Structure 1
Amino acid sequence: MTGALLILILIVTLALIFDYINGFHDTANAIATSIATRVLTPAQAIGMAAVMNVVGALTGTAVAKTISRDIVAPQIASDLRLVGAALVAAIIWNLLTWWRGLPSSSSHALVFSLVGAGVAAGGWKAIVPKGVNKTLLGLVTSPALGFAVSIILMGLILWLVARHMRPRTVTRVFRPLQVFSAAFMAFSHGGNDAQKTMGIITLAVGAYLGTALDHVPLWVILASASAMGLGTATGGWRIIKTMGFKVVDLKPIDGFVAELSAASIIEGASRLGIPVSTTHVISTTIMGVGTTKGFKKVKWQVAGRIVVAWVLTLPSCMLLGWLCFQVARIL
């Protein structure tokens, strides 16, 4: 077995570990609201999310192609050390924010760790503006859309339906609907987030073969989907508490609106090949729903901590990616 093949195996292993961590780190995105509203028990929510994450991960590869071809120039990305450095940096950031209970973005952690490692390997000319701009577009627009869409959708539902019902009836009607929205949320999470790992493994395989692949191999799709599903089944209780209980007091109608709004935006982004953060989107839809109850109903101090984690992710992961590549170069 050659040294290059051993490095490839190590990178694939690291990528699947990242996908597993992404699964339990971002479990809260799909299930926190349904647990907070007591529509599902923790065990039921995690089980459903694990299954739907896998199903979602099998539905497309547009985001994977963005990661594998449009972030770092192929001639620079052919260095396996670069891919490994980006993965290590993203894993470090994910574990750090999980430990602190902050719902940061695994998606942007990976993308900007890759940017940092790419800069270390070939300077700024190594970075492909197309993919980075697409990622930044998703970073800016998806949270804004999440906030706006959830407010509009909640207003429409309250005006068309809920105002004619007693509060108890509203809860009874929206409990089963929230099961659907939670499943849709988990499906969209798998469809966008698992593709980042597919993209990074495809990038590594192409680097090993000496040519950029124009498709994602089936074994990569299956392995990435399985790793994310397994991670989701493990759960991420620190972040679940932050997302589900510390931002706003949620009822089933609130959870339904937040999840449906977020899942629709994420699914649309996946079809366009835009890597977005499920954390960013569901956080802002929860805030949007809370705002319809009055600004004082949202715990803005907790929301502020979430925003700080978002802001820190980009420069921190670029720096970590740069440092990890420097270490890999020495080794």
Structure 2
Amino acid sequence: MDLVLALVIATVAIALFFDFTNGFHDAANAIATAVSTRALTPRHALAMAGVLNFVGALLGVGVAKTIKDILVGFTPDELGASTALTIVLSALLGAIVWNLITWYFGIPSSSSHALIGGLIGVGLASGVRVDWDKVVDKVAIPMVMSPFLGFVGAFVVMLAIGWLFRHRRPEPVNRGFRHAQKLSAAGLSLGHGLQDAQKTMGVIVLALIAGGYHSPNTDDIPLWVILAAASAISLGTFSGGIRIMRTMGRRIVAVSPPSAFAAESVAATVLYGMAIGLEAPVSTTHTMTSAVMGSGAAKGFKGVRWGVARSIVAWVLTLPAAATVAALAYFVTSRIIPQ
């Protein structure tokens, strides 16, 4: 086996490992509120999320194309296959290291932005041109828009729910919304698969392009890449994410079934809109966290535990932190792997 083929296999394997870590890192996003309100048991919630992550990954490839095109002129002819594969490998290492750090400390960081930060970091470190227009239009603006839309949307929906059911007794209302949550949590899990599995697909295609096994001039995503990424994120979700589940649930806001339904349904809508309408890779974590805060704020701003919420604003560090780790990884790997 020659060096290039070995590097392609290793990079694809590491990309799928990243996808797996994404699954368990983000497992709590779609299920924390449903578990917190006892709409679903943790085991049933994880099983549902795992299955629907897989299904969601099969629904589109627009986000994968965006990820693939962040680095410009990324071909083995221009860079050399070993150098190109070293770049992809280093971007993945930066994202994985940041994912593991935030998972260990229970910080709901963004796997999506960790991967994008990794690509930007290796682009700057290696001299490969970063498509900054795409980064601004498809990453930076949606990165700000999606939490804002999640917060405002959930705030408005929760206000509407409060007005519509203002004369009803809480017990039957809560019971009804627990049933409704099964649908909203399912929709959110589907949106998570639609968003996050595609990011790994884009990186795997980059590795195939780097090794000369895929044309850089086509937007086609091979079926085996789609199925492999869908399977990896689904298996990761099945493995769970208890640490982050605790932060995403009652520590941010004491969620009721109606507020949980509002947060889940709005977050799912934002994820679908960004993936299908804009082909923008946004963060499930950031969107859902903001929606939870918005639904809690609708009941009074004292309902949100802003001390914990402020700690989650650490997500702004994800892009530069992952970029830095990826750049360091590139400086090391480029001296180990023959170029």
TM-score normalised by the chain length of structure 2: 0.94
Corresponding residue for residue 74 of structure 1: 74
Corresponding residue for residue 278 of structure 1: 284
Corresponding residue for residue 151 of structure 1: 155
Q: Does structure 1 conserve the Cα–Cα contact (< 8 Å) formed by 2:70 and 2:119?
A: no
SS in 2 for 1:70: coil
Q: Does structure 2 conserve the Cα–Cα contact (< 8 Å) formed by 1:70 and 1:130?
A: no
Structure 1 pair 287–315 and aligned structure 2 pair: CA distance change class (3 A): same
Q: In angstroms, what is the RMSD of aligned CA positions?
A: 1.2
The answer to whether structure 1 residue 303 and structure 2 residue 306 are counterparts is no
- Report the alpha carbon displacement of residue 315 of structure 1 after superposing the two structures with TM: 1.1
> In the aligned structure 2, how far is the partner of 1:141 from the partner of 1:326?
34
TM-score normalised by the chain length of structure 1: 0.96
Q: Which blocks of at least 5 consecutive residues in structure 2 are unaligned? A: none
Q: Which blocks of at least 5 consecutive residues in structure 1 are unaligned? A: none
Corresponding residue for residue 52 of structure 1: 52
Corresponding residue for residue 143 of structure 2: 139
The answer to whether structure 1 residue 234 and structure 2 residue 239 are counterparts is yes
The aligned amino acid for 1:187 is L
Corresponding residue for residue 17 of structure 1: 17
Q: Decide which structure has greater helix share.
A: 1
Corresponding residue for residue 221 of structure 1: 226
The answer to whether structure 1 residue 188 and structure 2 residue 152 are counterparts is no
Corresponding residue for residue 126 of structure 2: 121
SS in 2 for 1:164: coil
2:181 to 175, 178, 181: 178
1:326 to 320, 325, 331: 331
Corresponding residue for residue 247 of structure 1: 252
Q: Does structure 2 conserve the Cα–Cα contact (< 8 Å) formed by 1:34 and 1:40?
A: yes
- Report the alpha carbon displacement of residue 72 of structure 1 after superposing the two structures with TM: 4.2
SS in 1 for 2:30: helix
The Cα offsets for residues 9-66 of structure 1, whole Å up to 9 and x where unpaired, read as 0000000000000000001111000010011000000000000000000000000000
> In the aligned structure 2, how far is the partner of 1:89 from the partner of 1:324?
7
- Report the alpha carbon displacement of residue 287 of structure 1 after superposing the two structures with TM: 0.3
> In the aligned structure 2, how far is the partner of 1:136 from the partner of 1:73?
22
> In the aligned structure 2, how far is the partner of 1:214 from the partner of 1:311?
30
Corresponding residue for residue 288 of structure 1: 294
Give 4+ residue runs of structure 1 displaced > 2 Å after superposition. Answer: 70-78
> In the aligned structure 1, how far is the partner of 2:103 from the partner of 2:73?
31
The answer to whether structure 1 residue 93 and structure 2 residue 102 are counterparts is no
The answer to whether structure 1 residue 164 and structure 2 residue 167 are counterparts is yes
Q: Does structure 2 conserve the Cα–Cα contact (< 8 Å) formed by 1:20 and 1:230?
A: yes
Q: Does structure 2 conserve the Cα–Cα contact (< 8 Å) formed by 1:15 and 1:87?
A: yes
The answer to whether structure 1 residue 313 and structure 2 residue 313 are counterparts is no
Q: Does structure 1 conserve the Cα–Cα contact (< 8 Å) formed by 2:154 and 2:266?
A: yes
Structure 1 pair 256–58 and aligned structure 2 pair: CA distance change class (3 A): same
The Cα offsets for residues 103-125 of structure 1, whole Å up to 9 and x where unpaired, read as 000000000111000111116xx
- Report the alpha carbon displacement of residue 155 of structure 1 after superposing the two structures with TM: 1.1
Query: What is the aligned length?
Result: 327
Corresponding residue for residue 42 of structure 1: 42
